[in-house]
Chains A and B, each alone.
Chain A
Amino acid sequence: MQSFIAAHKSRLGLVSLEAPLIANLAVWSNIALIRQYHENMPWHEARAFTEALLHRLGMASIMDKRNPALTSEERFCAMLLRASLVRDAIVVFDKPFGILTNLRDGCFIMENLRKLDDLIAETHIFDYNWEKERYGGWDGTES
């Protein structure tokens, strides 16, 4: 995984416990940060854009919440949105069930990925082999 990340660093959108949300920023600031920093998007525009995306995921209520106040699903969605805002994002999930501790399968992940399909160029999931069944009939290489 490390070599993959290094190879795609410029377009990388990592969803991992190793890349947490910034604790003293609201969810929308965490997500908007990517566009604000890389594209100098004005904050009000970035906020509106983020709000629309959160609506798409049905998570508009978490806009102004901070990381410690989120459930695992809300945290996952925020991380996914942040990753998908990278231009031509190559979204990489690093052991997503480490974040979504109370989910039994990958349907939730799949469902949210579909909603953000227009923003994401590629998706890669890195997880342990024994978690393979939780992803159902997904295609993929083992690692």
Chain B
Amino acid sequence: MSKDHIDVNYVAELARLSLSHEESETFQKQIEEILVYVEKLNELDTSNIQPTANPSPILDPIREDIIKDSIPRESFLNIAPETINNQLKVPKVIE
């Protein structure tokens, strides 16, 4: 883990964020500091340790696939930023 790899503008692009000049300067400094701090995890030898993704054992997440009524389509169209013909409207994707 080393701080010299992060370029916040590049990572922001991956995360679909655009940063102002001021934001990118501040974040660059702050996130570098955080990355230096988390380097302390390397003090620990974890070569034989299994990662924990879920802190409690999932017993049985599978359920019967039963057809049920769902939340009405209108409820979601009502909160959409832009709709057209009862569908979500987005800018042109293919030229």
Q: Are the chains A and B members of one assembly?
A: no
